[in-house]
Structure 1
Amino acid sequence: MESMDDLTAKKCVPCNSKDIRPMSEQSANELLPQVQGWNLTNDDDTMKLHRSWKVKTFTKGLEFFQIIADVAEAEGHHPDLHLVGWNNVKIDIWTHSTGGLTENDFILAAKINALNVEHLLRRTAVA
């Protein structure tokens, strides 16, 4: 079993590689515990990783996106970013070129989880 440190230490492989294939739901469920807070969703038969945060303000949401964008650019792997209302940040990650999830998605989710974004988030009681 790989540790979360292993995922954050990995680099995303180019999505245009012909060797890259979407993983099975079983494989995705096996990796899911390594990316705390993320859920698997199925959107029109496309498996995706999804996570939401509440930010303090609209502009903090944009700052959050900029921090994520820097990681996404460095990895060459880009999530779908949504700012819903004024303070709900939602991120969907999947490998567009394969139409499903690959290890790249879990690497990116782990790297997003490792970011220091606490100063942007609303303090709410965790259920």
Structure 2
Amino acid sequence: MSNELSIQQCEACHSDAPKVSDDELKSLLKQVPDWLPEVHNNVMMLAREYTFKNYKLAWAFANKVSELAESEFHHPAILLEWGKVKVTWWTHSIGGLHKNDFICAAKTDQLL
């Protein structure tokens, strides 16, 4: 199901762009079922932790996520640890979730 999202491109997002509604959130989460909504400092974000056999594999994945972020001009938080990478997407300009975050989550999953 995330294939639909993964073929879409992020759209330019301004501070007046609408955040996803509660109904949209439910629908979009079904398309990226391994991702979880999290709230930090009153900002809704989309997060997933990936596990790897060692640091080098985790590092390589984090680099792929960075390249994706640059190509989409949409940048997540990436926490790199030994054998783990946590990726957190949200739209900074609106202080919450936009469809772009779900598009990038689906594309992140395809980097594995």
- Quote the residue 1:122 is aligned against: none
Is 1:107 matched with 2:79? no
- The CA distance in 1 between the partners of 2:15 and 2:36, in whole Å, is 27
Question: For 1:90-124, what per-residue CA distance to the aligned partner results, in whole angstroms no more than 9, with x for missing partners?
Answer: 11100011000000000000111122x2xxxxxxx
Structure 2 counterpart SS, 1:40: strand
Counterpart of 1:75, as a letter, is: E
TM-score, length of structure 2 as denominator length: 0.89
CA distance in 2 between partners of 1:4 and 1:64 (Å): 19
Deviations 1:54-83 (A, max 9, x none): 111112111001111111111111110001
TM-score, normalised via structure 1 length: 0.80
- Runs of at least 5 residues in structure 2 that lack an aligned partner in the other structure: none
| Equivalent position SS for 1:100 | coil
* Counterpart secondary structure, 2:46: strand
Q: Secondary structure at the match of 1:60?
A: helix
Contact 2:49 2:84 survives alignment (8 Å) = yes
Residues 1-127 of structure 1: matches in 2 within 5 Å? 3-15=1-13, 17=14, 19-84=16-81, 86-115=82-111, 117=112
Query: Percent of counterpart pairs with the same letter?
Result: 36
1:51 alignment partner, SS class: strand
Provide the C-alpha distance between the structure 1 equivalents of 2:38 and 2:23, rounded to a whole number of angstroms: 13
Total equivalences in the alignment: 112
Q: Which structure 1 segments of 5+ residues have no match?
A: 118-127
- Which stretches of structure 1, 4 residues or longer, exceed 3 Å deviation after superposition? none
Max radius of gyration: which structure? Answer: 1
SS at match of 2:44: strand
Query: Aligned AA for 1:4?
Result: S
SS at match of 1:89: strand
